Amino acid sequence: MTAYLSRRQEQLLAAVAAVVVANAYYIHPIIGEVADHFGVSHARIGLVPALNQLALALGIFLLLPLGDRFSNRRLAILFVSGQTLAMLLMTLAGSFLPFVAGSTLLGFFTITPYLLPAYASKRVAPERLGQVTALIAAGAILGILVARVGAGVVAEHFGWRTVYWIATSLMLLVTLFLPRMMEPGERDAAAHHSYPALLLSVFPMVREHREILLAGVIQALNFGQFIALWLALSLYLTSPSMGYGTDTVGYLAGIAAVSIISTPRLGIWADRIGPRKARAIFALIQLLGISLFWPLGGSLATLLVPLFIANLVGPGIDVTSRMTFLTLRPELRTRLTTIYVVLMFVGGGIGSFAGTAAFDAFGWGGTCIVLAGMSLTLSLLATFGRKFGE
């Protein structure tokens, strides 16, 4: 029997999630500066995060099921190495197309953060599943926070390319130390299946466990609106009408720190009242926050109110959605996670393009309409999801 993780090991997994997840988010506060450097429009620069997210969805589908056949540790080391090479390509890119190619390749290999919850779920006591899942999620949130705040400040003073040199160095450190962080383990029960059989086995799971489709669509909307918001907000704040620098965008992103404090507590609360009920409550609170972006979007100070509300509960929707299927049989969890995360990043890809395109065509008001529609749909689905019971 696999031994339970120590608290230190749980914290190290959260730290790995922080560094690896951060890579996709450095672009958020500096997207306008990168567009200007390469001489492309706001709509076209949206291809960078959009293709990153869609490539991640493809990578999740093709690569994550291997977690039910091979050691999570071996796969994590391989995928982190691929990310490091992709980051180096972005850092050295002399024109727009290589930069897009590096970002797309980065997305394809960003698998490790989504192996970690399944890896941890097999090595923690059932009554601590929500807490540990939330801890890893909080690590990812910390990585996103540091990436966005740090990228804005560093780019303002040292240029956007310095951001990627720092990111590449951090990835190299993770690649070197990850083998010591994750303990070797036995192959899962599905190891006797061939790779094509593992891929094909994902589709019957959608029919057998219908709630995974609902959870994935809810998180697709949740993540898509998060990406759309921050990309459009960066373009909005650095536009002539607002006139702020990338450092201000980075500082504003620091409001996500509330999630680091709230998410573990929301996970513990969801353990008590049930994930479906908690998710519906979080969705309604988030809808309130999203609906305030248009009336309060005229100044930086008033924007803090809806940003605080959205960041308070947004990650809780992800945690509670994961909890609905991570209690199922261990040999299914990686492939169920595959379905969930593929849908999530398809939503992220659509949100990346929708956020920048809506802003390019209709300004901040157009972005607010897109966000409100996504949040309303999410709330309706989360309310409907309570019928599955606890």
Domains of the chain: 7-179+195-388 (1.20.1250.20)
Residue 292: phi and psi, rounded to 5, are -90, -5
Q: What is the pLDDT of residue 185?
A: 62
- The secondary structure of residue 241, as a DSSP letter, is T
Give the tokens for residue 290. 């999203």
Polymer length in residues for the chain: 390
Average pLDDT over residues 227-241: 89
Q: At residue 390, does pLDDT exceed 70? A: no
* Rounded mean pLDDT, 322-334: 76
- SS3 of 31-80: HHHHHHHHCCCHHHHCHHHHHHHHHHHHHHHHHHHHHHCCCHHHHHHHHH
Name the residue with higher pLDDT: 70 or 231.
231
**Per-residue pLDDT band at 189 (split at 50, 70, 90):** very low
Residue 331, pLDDT > 70, answer: no
Identify the band that residue 287 occupies on the pLDDT scale cut at 50, 70 and 90: very high
Q: Which of 89, 72, 100 is nearest to 16 (CA)?
A: 72
pLDDT digits (tens, 9 = 90+) for 254-277: 787 777 778 778 888 888 888 899
334, pLDDT greater than 80: no
Q: Are 107 and 53 in contact (CB under 8 A)?
A: yes
Q: What is the pLDDT of residue 99?
A: 96
Predicted confidence (pLDDT) per residue in 209-232, tens digit? 788 889 999 999 999 999 999 889
- pLDDT top residue among 364 and 124: 364
Average pLDDT, the chain: 86
Under the banding of pLDDT at 50, 70 and 90, the label for residue 389 is: low
- Under DSSP, the state recorded for 390 is -
- Judged against a pLDDT cut of 70, whether residue 193 lies above it is answered with no
**pLDDT for 192:** 58
As given in the structure block, the two tokens for residue 320 are: 């509670």
Predicted confidence at residue 386, as pLDDT, reads: 83
HSE (side-chain half, CA atoms, 13 Å) at 54: 13
- Which of 29, 24, 25 has the alpha carbon at shortest distance from 232? 29
Residue type, 288: L
**Does residue 12 or residue 23 have the better pLDDT?**
23
d(CA 63, CA 69): 11
Token pair 């300004």 in the structure block, residue:
363
Cβ atoms of 318 and 130 closer than 8 Å: no
**Dihedral Cα 350, 351, 357, 363, nearest 10 deg:** 160
pTM of the model: 0.77
pLDDT in the model for residue 286: 95
Predicted pLDDT of residue 259 = 75
What does the alpha-carbon distance between residue 224 and residue 290 come to, in Å, rounded to a whole number?
A: 13
Asked if residue 51 has pLDDT above 70, the reply is yes
User: Could you write out the DSSP letters of every residue in 219-240?
Assistant: HHHHHHHHHHHHHHHHHHHTST
What is the pLDDT, as a whole number, of residue 388? 67
Q: What does the alpha-carbon distance between residue 142 and residue 117 come to, in Å, rounded to a whole number?
A: 16
Residues 42, 25: Cα–Cα separation, whole Å = 17
Structure tokens at 53: 């997210």
Here the contacts of 235-240 (C-beta below 8 Å, separation 24 or greater) are: 235/31, 235/32, 235/42, 235/356, 235/359, 235/360, 236/297, 236/359, 236/363, 236/364, 236/367, 237/300, 238/32, 238/33
pLDDT of residue 216: 93
**Range 32-50 average pLDDT:** 88
Spell out a b/e string for 268-295, using b for 16 or more CB atoms within 10 Å of the CB, else e.
ebbbeeebbbbbbbbbebbbebbbbbbe
Percent of the chain topping pLDDT 90: 38
Assess whether pLDDT exceeds 80 at residue 25: yes
For the stretch 129-175, pLDDT in tens is: 777 877 888 888 788 888 988 998 899 889 999 999 999 999 999 99
Q: How many CB atoms lie within 10 A of CB 126?
A: 10
pLDDT at 221: 96
The alpha helices in 238-329, defined as continuous H runs, are: 246-253, 257-273, 275-291, 300-323
Query: Is the predicted pLDDT of residue 238 greater than 90, yes or no?
Result: no
Closest-CA residue to 207 (of 339, 321, 383): 339
Q: What is the mean pLDDT of residues 18-44?
A: 90
Alpha-carbon radius of gyration of the chain: 20
What proportion of the chain, given as a percentage, has pLDDT over 70? 95
Q: What is the DSSP letter of 387?
A: G
- Cβ atoms of residues 137 and 265 within 8 Å: no
